Amino acid sequence: MSSAKNDFVTVGESRKVGQDLQSSTVFLVLNFCKKLKIPTSISPYSAIPKTFTAVLNKNLKMKNRLLLTLLLFGQIAFGQTEKHIKVSGTKCSLVPPSGFVVATNFSGFQNTETGASIMINELPAPYQSLIDGFTAEALKSRGMNLIKKHPINFNGSEATLLDLTQLANGTNYIKQMLVFGDTKGTVLINGIYPEASKAIEEKIKDALLSTVCNNSQNDNPLEAATFTIDIKDTDFKLIKYMSGSLLYSTDGIMPTEKPTLIVGNSLAKVPTQNQKKYAEERLKKLPRGEHNTIKEIKEIIIDNLKGYEIVAYGKTKDDKVELVYLVMLFNENGDYYIIVGQSREDFEKYLESFKKIAKTFRRK
């Protein structure tokens, strides 16, 4: 593919593909937590540990549930300047490269002209365990090629920089990842851009290394979200905002075996020709989604958005039946909102709760 063609793809399609690739790292990290049995069941309302984290991306098969994760940590800020911009939904700030603007549908920054983005998330898992899990073999299994992995001194403590590449839709993408933390939390910051935009490589790296975390910074997840829902008179408790999504569970922790609810917005535009088919495909892309069998699917309108409501049954890793509830709402611009509820218990009760909560969805 010529560089001219790459440039053309970068401006349009790479915006979508780049954001899709962004999400793959989050699932990768969460999957490591599952495999390594890393304890992450920390409530955001409990005492905040000394350090903090950020994770990025998507597309990882968590063994138990969709996006089972996240929570918060804190770290004393130092090195922060007037050029630093706070990242909503986190306790982080960084200095974005020129041409990058604050993203509205995830925690980070994006450049719509180049298709580049920087995403921040947080994970309550030990730094060393996560880093040990980022092997060339593990990354390759997720379609990422590890080019370089090296330790650095970051703000007086150990951190790791990773350089990776990933092919998507015929375009090669470059990822730079900065990972730091301690035994209680890890911060992972991910910068991604098309190879045709490699000229911004050093600027992305400088932005990652400018990151500071401030324990007193307000990371109010409800303010960061682009929508609202009402969980009043249900068992669900808010846990965290991550990558454009609000995470809930009935015990207030994740990962968990208890019922969970995730409400989020798309990170990229999707085809709108066959929304029903897209919703069905989205159901199958959930963790262990290949086992999901649709019991009912119907058209639905919420907040003047048309979409589909799906009730399905899946199987857990230990072969137990699981209720899976999914709502996808589409706007005229190719964006969507998604609501996913899962429960291994009291199907009738939680299906009623999922439907009740879904009807309260409102865009801000």
The pLDDT tens digits for 106-127 are 889 999 888 899 999 887 778 9
φ and ψ at residue 336, rounded to 5 degrees: -140, 165
Question: If you ran DSSP here, which 8-state letter would residue 157 be given?
Answer: E
Q: Where are the domains of the chain?
A: 81-213, 221-363
Reference 171, options 29, 26, 12; nearest CA is 12
Q: What is the pLDDT of residues 155-210, one digit of tens each?
A: 888 999 999 999 877 889 999 999 998 887 788 899 999 999 999 999 999 999 99
Reference 40, options 235, 221, 214, 249; nearest CA is 249
CA 175, distance to chain mean position in Å, is: 16
Q: What is the CA radius of gyration of the chain?
A: 19
- Answer yes or no: are the C-beta atoms of 40 and 125 closer than 8 Å: yes
pTM exceeds cut of 0.75: no
Q: What would the CATH number be for the domain defined by 221-363?
A: 3.40.1000.10
Domains 81-213 and 221-363 alike in fold? yes
Who contacts 285 (Cβ-Cβ below 8 Å, separation ≥6)?
none
- Answer yes or no: are the C-beta atoms of 309 and 300 closer than 8 Å: yes
Residue 80 is predicted with a pLDDT of: 62
Q: What is the pLDDT of residues 47-102, one digit of tens each?
A: 323 333 333 333 333 333 333 333 223 333 445 678 999 988 888 899 999 999 99
Is 81-213 in CATH node 1.10.150.130?
no
